[in-house]
Structure 1
């Protein structure tokens, strides 16, 4: 018996090029970027040209409370009251004698009063009474005032 040698032939398959799936990696990243950009553009879209981001316009009443000898006073109660409205604010002067309060923008008169009832004078400082100023606001602006106590 004769044996034929069988030649092993390898079956060659034509391999298809491996194609990276574009959906799980790149498309997800692009989709996330589009969504984030969309939400970011929404947040910038509110408000008008003068007041972006939906911020309400305001005026700032800024002042300093001074003693009779010209020193700034700490801890003096300052009251701000709108004359035409019931709106009012109460705040205290800081270590520099300064105070600041936002009020709605627009034409209005505000009565600003510095009251010494809660003030504890230091040695050598004797104060009586208070100071009062009427402030007229036209628009969204900063108004600086000085309250000189006697």
Structure 2
């Protein structure tokens, strides 16, 4: 990746694209005070330097009746590289898992964020998928009652 020093205009471009990745280059250029060609070159440079890792469409989970968010703490029986890699490979196969993080500072080894329609679907996920991993020593589930804040944007200076 090419080295790039960000200026105020680059940061403004990144903030606008985080808020709405569907902005046309024309609209983006107008909002940052550039003509379209220089704006397009800056966006390309940000992509090439790795500041922009991709583009995605965020879907509204409510329209798919995915109403239950569960945070699951998973504790493994052992911490060998092979067991960690096997667990992570299994988790990567489950569409219900939105996030999986290896953590420290807790009795758990992993935090999972799981999105399902209801408690019945969660039960199926838990019993038919997650607990089939022989290396899991413990699971603790917490259910989201209210989503206070949800963002895909990272904080920029």
TM-score > 0.5 by shorter chain: no
User: Which structure has the higher relative contact order (CA within 8 Å, separation 6+)?
Assistant: 2
- Answer with 1 or 2: which has the greater Rg: 1
**What TM-score results when the alignment is normalised by the length of structure 2?**
0.26
Higher helix fraction: Structure 1 or Structure 2? 2
Q: Name whichever structure is richer in strand by fraction.
A: 1
